[in-house]
Amino acid sequence: MYEHPYLSRQITLFEQEQIERAAARRRFLIEHTDQIVPRPEGVLRRMLRRVLGAASERATAKVATARTATARTATVCDQAAAPAR
C-alpha cells in the first residue's frame, strides 16, 4: 500500500551516483578535449547532410541568381545611362 523507505532511499542513491558519474564524465571530456576523435558518419548523419546540404545549396543558388540578376540590371542601367551623360 505504501512505499517502503528503503526503496526510495535506494532509488535516490542510484540517481545521485548517476549524476556524479555524468559530472565526472563531463569534467574528463573538458580536460581532455584534444583526445576526442570524431566518429565516422553513420547512415542517418549522411542522409541528413545530403538532404540539408542540398537545401542549403539550393538557397545559395537562389541568392547567387538574385545577385547575378541584380548585377545584370545594374549593368544594363549603366549602359543605358552612359549615352545620357
- What are 10-51's pLDDT values in tens digits? 999 999 999 999 999 999 999 999 998 988 989 999 999 899
Distance of CA 36 to the CA centre of its chain: 18
- pLDDT at residue 76 greater than cutoff 70: no
pLDDT at position 68 is 61
Average pLDDT score over the chain: 80
Alpha-carbon distance 5 to 12, whole Å? 11
Structure confidence at residue 18 (pLDDT):
98
Q: Write b or e for each residue in 24-59: b if 16 or more Cβ atoms lie within 10 A of its Cβ, otherwise e.
A: eeeeeeeeeeeeeeeeeeeeeeeeeeeeeeeeeeee
Confidence of residue 75 (pLDDT cuts 50, 70, 90): low
Rounded Cα distance between 85 and 78, Å, is 10
CB 36 within 8 A of CB 29: yes
Per-residue confidence (pLDDT) for residue 32, from 0 to 100: 94
For position 14, what pLDDT does the model report? Answer: 96
Report yes or no: 49 and 41 within 8 Å, Cβ to Cβ: yes
